[in-house]
Amino acid sequence: MTDLSQKFANAKQHLRPVEWSPERSDAVRRNIGRRRQRFTMSTVALGSAAVAVAVAVAIVWFAQRSEPNDVAIAPRQIELRDGTRAAPLGSATSLKLLSEDESLVTFGLEAGKGWFEVTPSRTRRVEVLVRDVRVQVLGTEFVVEVKDEFVHVWVHRGKVSVASTSGTVVLSKGEHGTFAADAEEEKESASIETDAGVAKAVAAVDAGMEAEGAKVREREGEADAGAQTIESLPAEVSLNTSETVETLWKRADTARRRGDAETARRALAELLNEHEEDPRAALAAFSLGRVLLDSGHSAKTAARAFAKARKLSPEGPLVEDALLREIEAWHHDGDSRRVKSRSKKYMRLFPKGRYRKQIREMGER
Amino acid sequence: MPVVLSGMDTQEPRAVASFGDEPKSALLDALYDDYAGYVAAIGLRLLGRDSEIDDLVQDVFLDAVRGLSQLRDLDATRAWLATLTVRTARRRLRRNRLRRFVGGSDDYDYSTLVDTSASPEERLLLTRCYEVLETLPANQRLAWTLRHVEGEALAVVASRCECSLASAKRYVQRAQARLQEVLGND
């Protein structure tokens, strides 16, 4: 122990003790009580302020949520137990859950636009009925809109199979399809522009005379058969330009359903002839090709109809199927040169296409 | 006639364990009755200023009320309150130090700490000692005071200061060195 420590140890005995009188103690006790009270009050005040702020924020949030934006009547989202959801987009949308059981869920979209997110299931199918179009879901997210006489389908994720009056098309992620809704209402055709070449081609098909009367002018190396024209139109062919697209669609569909391929073929040919500028013309050309093939008409003419479908909508959802069908038609026709050139074109356009194997096998036969 | 208490000779008061299920205010009253004097006594040794003791005691018992749930063993109430007192004293010392740093006047006559029976040399030593402690960092001052004024073992010092034993030793040694440096030459 140092000298300083020793000195301090001796000196510290002279440090005064605290004078803690009862009066002093009581005074401090009262102060503690007051400070506790102030602390409690400030805590309550702070808590109340926090609650008030939270309530205000919640009110503003709910108010904003409930404010109509572009939706006059905010329809509610439909959510199924498996997580499948459907929601109307826009005030004019009429979306309903028509039926739900263990194997099938059916939504009905009567008007407007609907968003769907479907949980994949092996045991249960989900369908959306839009007038005459049936969108069958394979586990995906997509939007369906019925506008005027068309049904539009946008696929954001997965795949959907769309069955319409003109057949079934599978749409994949990022694809958009437009289908005839087969609506009851009719509209006057706004403008009709006829392409003489196409008119002749369709008329030739219609008259069943292409084998003996038509001459095909082809450009060597041009893969797009839609660019081809058929000359020597028979004089007796007449085109009724007064009918609207809707009327023709309806007639073709009705005829096809009752197995009247001839009437269906005429209606589609007329539609294609009279309304080539219409967005449905590509679908009409594709349907015409199928009708021609199914009814045993010239495979060559069917191939040209499929080619026309591609030409009318080169970026549309039908292109891949139309090209496959065209190849099949040329294959039936025995035109190996065109089979080869169209197959090459398919491989180039769809390097990961669904029909690569099928087309390759076709070329080998 | 005031009741005179000191930190060293205060005996363990009546058991507060009987207040196990009492509301906080009742338990606080019991704690205050039993330990207020003890807290004031330690506080005076740590701060060296009687004028700050009332506030210190208030702060300690307010902290005690808020931290009652942390008290697992009522037998350790005395040690727990001592630790709270050291913690509160540290805050006050740091605040005083900051006030001095920014230019606030903080002259205090530490000779009032010494009783009349002390010799002039002892009075000077104790006064100078607290004046030097005033210049030390709070942790060093508290550790040295607990060790050399209160006479606590180093392990207890470490516990009260809420630091490791090594840190407690280091604080005490540094404070001692500084006191030796200043007072050894006086």
Average pLDDT over residues B154-160: 94
- What is the CATH architecture of B109-186? Orthogonal Bundle (1.10)
* Chain A, chain B: beta-carbon pairs less than 8 Å apart: 98
Put simply, the answer to whether A18 touches B44 (Cβ < 8 Å) is yes
- The rounded distance, in Å, linking the Cα atoms of A244 and A315 is 25
**Could you give the dihedral angle defined by the CA atoms of residues A165, A169, A173 and A178, in that order, rounded to the nearest 10 degrees?**
-30
Nearest residue of B to residue A39, measured between CA atoms:
B62
Name the residue facing B114 among A14, A25, A29 (closest C-beta): A14
Put simply, the answer to whether B62 touches A29 (Cβ < 8 Å) is no
A271 with A251: CB under 8 angstroms?
no
Q: Domain ranges for chain B, please list them.
A: 1-107, 109-186
The CATH H-level (homologous superfamily) assignment of domain A196-364 is Tetratricopeptide repeat domain (1.25.40.10)
From chain B residues 3-22, the ones with a CB under 8 A of any chain A CB are 3-6
Q: Which class is domain B1-107?
A: mainly alpha
Q: Domain ranges for chain A, please list them.
A: 78-180, 196-364
Ramachandran sector of residue B48 (left: φ over 0; alpha: ψ -120 to 50; beta: rest): left
Is A15 at the interface with chain B, CB within 8 A? yes
Nearest residue of A to residue B182, measured between CA atoms:
A4
Average pLDDT over all residues of chain B: 83
Nearest residue of A to residue B55, measured between CA atoms:
A28
- Using N-to-C axis directions, what is the helix angle for A281-294 and A319-333, rounded to 10°? 30
| Residue showing tokens 């398919």 | A346
Is B185 at the interface with chain A, CB within 8 A? no
- The rounded distance, in Å, linking the Cα atoms of A222 and A138 is 37
Average pLDDT over residues B10-31: 56
Name the residue facing A15 among B28, B62, B126 (closest C-beta): B126
In CATH terms, is domain A78-180 a member of 3.90.1150.10?
no
Instruction: Calculate how close chain A gets to B105, using CA atoms only, in Å.
Output: 25
Neighbour count for residue A26 (Cβ, 10 Å): 11
Put simply, the answer to whether B6 touches A7 (Cβ < 8 Å) is no
Put simply, the answer to whether B114 touches A19 (Cβ < 8 Å) is no
Please check the confidence at residue B78 and state whether its pLDDT lies above 60: yes
Put simply, the answer to whether A11 touches B122 (Cβ < 8 Å) is yes
Q: Which of B78, B86, B69, B66 is nearest to B31 (CA)?
A: B78
Beta strand A150-157 with A18-19 is unpaired
CA distances from A179 to A245, A250, A277, B36 (A): 13, 13, 16, 88
pLDDT at A192: 26
Q: Residue A177 has which token pair?
A: 């399809």
Instruction: Calculate how close chain A gets to B76, using CA atoms only, in Å.
Output: 22
Q: Which of B112, B119, B121, B178 is nearest to B148 (CA)?
A: B178
pLDDT at A252: 85
**Could you give the dihedral angle defined by the CA atoms of residues B132, B134, B138 and B144, in that order, rounded to the nearest 10 degrees?**
40
A264 with A284: CB under 8 angstroms?
no
The single-letter DSSP state of residue A78 is E
Interface-testing mutation among B4, B55, B152, with chain A (most A C-beta atoms within 10 A): B4
The single-letter DSSP state of residue A15 is B
A326 with A301: CB under 8 angstroms?
no
- The rounded distance, in Å, linking the Cα atoms of A267 and A291 is 11
Q: Which residues contact A43 (CB under 8 A, 6 or more apart)?
A: none
Name the residue facing B4 among A3, A19, A25 (closest C-beta): A19
Name the residue facing A20 among B40, B65, B121 (closest C-beta): B40
Is B102 at the interface with chain A, CB within 8 A? no
pLDDT at A127: 86
Residue B162 pLDDT level (bands cut at 50, 70, 90): very high
Average pLDDT over residues B70-76: 70
Instruction: Calculate how close chain B gets to A47, using CA atoms only, in Å.
Output: 17
Chain B residues touching A4 at Cβ < 8 A: 179-180, 183-184
Secondary element (H or E) of residue A1: none
Instruction: Calculate how close chain B gets to A51, using CA atoms only, in Å.
Output: 23
**Per-residue pLDDT for chain A (365 aa), expressed as one digit of tens each?**
567 888 888 888 899 888 889 999 999 988 888 887 777 777 778 888 888 888 888 777 766 554 433 333 334 678 888 888 888 887 778 888 888 888 888 888 888 888 888 887 778 888 888 887 888 876 677 888 887 677 888 888 777 888 876 677 888 877 778 777 764 433 333 222 233 333 333 333 333 333 333 333 333 333 333 333 322 223 333 333 457 888 888 888 888 878 888 888 888 888 888 888 887 888 888 888 888 888 877 888 888 888 888 888 887 778 888 898 899 888 888 888 888 889 988 888 888 888 888 888 887 76
pLDDT at A171: 81
Is B50 at the interface with chain A, CB within 8 A? yes
Put simply, the answer to whether A16 touches B176 (Cβ < 8 Å) is no
- The rounded distance, in Å, linking the Cα atoms of A259 and A251 is 12
Is B106 at the interface with chain A, CB within 8 A? no
Average pLDDT over residues B165-182: 94
Q: Residue B1 has which token pair?
A: 């006639």
Instruction: Calculate how close chain A gets to B96, using CA atoms only, in Å.
Output: 21
Chain B residues touching A32 at Cβ < 8 A: 28, 32, 58, 61-62
Residue B103 pLDDT level (bands cut at 50, 70, 90): confident
Q: Which of A230, A221, A211, A220 is nearest to A304 (CA)?
A: A230
Put simply, the answer to whether A4 touches B57 (Cβ < 8 Å) is no
Name the residue facing A14 among B6, B43, B115 (closest C-beta): B115
- Using N-to-C axis directions, what is the helix angle for A245-257 and A281-294, rounded to 10°? 20
- The rounded distance, in Å, linking the Cα atoms of A6 and A22 is 36
Chain A residues touching B121 at Cβ < 8 A: 11
Please check the confidence at residue B92 and state whether its pLDDT lies above 70: yes
Instruction: Please state the ipTM of this predicted complex.
Output: 0.79
B131 or A83, higher pLDDT: B131
Interface-testing mutation among B61, B117, B131, B147, with chain A (most A C-beta atoms within 10 A): B61
Q: Residue A59 has which token pair?
A: 């009110």
